[in-house]
Structure formats: structure tokens, C-alpha cells
């Protein structure tokens, strides 16, 4: 996965795609994912389960990346938003630095390399999330 992540982040750098910050989730008190997301922290490895599930997240295997999660929130079928402060950015007609939209060069940088994007899902709709798993 190291080479795959380096390749896609090199493409993002070449596009001058704005990533606000990138720290290990462990840098946040209690390694709390919600706190990291509220801080718009791009992250990858995080040993955690899938919210509302008994399964491990692809983040626990180092096979997922969340990009600018505050401005690219996730919303589940019950309307729960992650991060909880991400509601203003659910309006995808907005353009804001670091927002991801279908067809954007940043999204294409992942998809063209075999990653899946949570922005294409129905529930949850997870605009921040890219994964390269085998489920």
C-alpha cells in the first residue's frame, strides 16, 4: 500500500490539491477520530472499527484514506454526520478549497489507480473516504 499511497499523493501534489493538514490520528487526545475530523485532518491508518458495525475499517489495515474530512463529511442513512460539525459542507454544489466532487482531478487521481470513493456510495455517503480493499 505504501507505493499506492505515495503515487496518489504525488498526483495530488502535482495538481496543487489543497490538503489542510495531515497528522496521525494518534496526535489527537485519545486518538479520537471525531476530533481529528473536526480539525479537517487528512489521515489514513487508524485502528478502529466501522461506525455502527462489528467489522474493522479499512483504516485499521492501512487501506483507506480520509481527505479533508471536515469539508468532505460522511452522512449515514439516519442522517448522522461525521464529523458532527460537517453539516455546512453537505451541500456539494458549493466549491471550497479541498472539497471533493465527482469528476474532480483529485477524485480521478484515486479512481484511475483502482481506489473506491465513498462519494459514490448511497449509505453512508462518505465524501472524505477512499479505499483500496478487497471486500
Is the pTM above the cut of 0.75? yes
The domain segmentation of the chain, as residue ranges, is 2-131
Q: Going edge to edge, which strands form the sheet with 74-75?
A: 81-82, 74-75, 125-126
Sign of CA dihedral 57, 68, 96, 18: negative
Q: Please write the tens of the pLDDT for every residue from 33-69.
A: 899 999 999 999 887 777 777 787 787 888 899 999 9
pLDDT of residue 112: 97
Q: Please write the tens of the pLDDT for every residue from 1-22.
A: 899 999 999 999 999 999 999 9
pLDDT of residue 134: 67
Amino acid at each position: 500500500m505504501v507505493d499506492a499511497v505515495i503515487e496518489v499523493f504525488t498526483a495530488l501534489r502535482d495538481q496543487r490539491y489543497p490538503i489542510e493538514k495531515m497528522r496521525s490520528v494518534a496526535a489527537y487526545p485519545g486518538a479520537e477520530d471525531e476530533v481529528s475530523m473536526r480539525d479537517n485532518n487528512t489521515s489514513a491508518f487508524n485502528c478502529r472499527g466501522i461506525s455502527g458495525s462489528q467489522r474493522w475499517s479499512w483504516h485499521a489495515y492501512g487501506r483507506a484514506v480520509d481527505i479533508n474530512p471536515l469539508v468532505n463529511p460522511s452522512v449515514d442513512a439516519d442522517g448522522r454526520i461525521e464529523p458532527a460539525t460537517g453539516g455546512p459542507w453537505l451541500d456539494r454544489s458549493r466549491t471550497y478549497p479541498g472539497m471533493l466532487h465527482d469528476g474532480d482531478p483529485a477524485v480521478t487521481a484515486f479512481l484511475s489507480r483502482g481506489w473506491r470513493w465513498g462519494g459514490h456510495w448511497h449509505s453512508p455517503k462518505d465524501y472524505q473516504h477512499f479505499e483500496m480493499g478487497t471486500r
